[in-house]
Amino acid sequence: MLPAPDLEIDTREYELFLDDRNAEETFASIRLRAGVLTVQEILAEPEDWVRVELPNGLSLPVELDARGRSSIDVRLVMDEAKLRRLSRIFPAVYQGHLEVVCDEFERAEPFQAKCWSPPALTVWEDGHQFELLLGRPFQFALTVQNKDVRDPSGGKETPSSKSGRCIGRP
């Protein structure tokens, strides 16, 4: 006689930089700790900004057995463009849940998406504004020159000039 199925879903708070690269590790684990069951569907809600991506070669339904194949790692693919449109202040936090539908029962586990705006720099030149997207947070050097590039003293440090480091933060 087999023990009753004991299913565990591991999700967490996922940090996203809304840079449209979907490079974050947004995986969730579905583990069967005891028994045998058939997974019919794996869904993520809300559907308008998150979906589930199954590992290569896996299609549903799939049977999980605690004595053999007992787990599935799925990726939560979040629509960064949609989340950026929804976000007014940063960090923006959104709630969702991962639902596993089995023959025997359904189980859902909540997760959070903590969204950051990627670092950006706005440059004004001759009355025009340019947006420079810097991407992920990192250290960068910034030189500000308020002289014509043809001026021989342009770009030279003077006793009154300040130097420093800028650290990009979302």
| First-to-final CA distance of the chain | 55
| CA 24 vs CA 46, 103, 115, 130, 170: distances in Å | 19, 32, 11, 27, 15
35 vs 170 pLDDT, higher one: 35
Residue 57 has pLDDT above 90, yes or no: no
Beta bridge partners of residue 37, listed in sequence order: 64
CB 42 within 8 A of CB 98: yes
For residue 76 the two structure tokens come to: 């939560």
What is the domain partition of the chain in residue ranges? 6-116, 118-170
Residue 74 has pLDDT above 50, yes or no: yes
pTM here is 0.72
Tell me the average pLDDT of the chain: 84
pLDDT in tens, 80-138: 999 999 999 999 999 999 999 999 899 999 999 999 987 777 776 777 776 666 655 55
DSSP per-residue codes, 123-170: EEETTEEEEEE--S--EE------S-TTSTTTT---TT-----EE---
Structural class in CATH, domain 6-116: mainly beta
* pLDDT grade for 141, boundaries at 50, 70 and 90: low
Residue 20 has pLDDT above 70, yes or no: yes
* pLDDT grade for 169, boundaries at 50, 70 and 90: very low
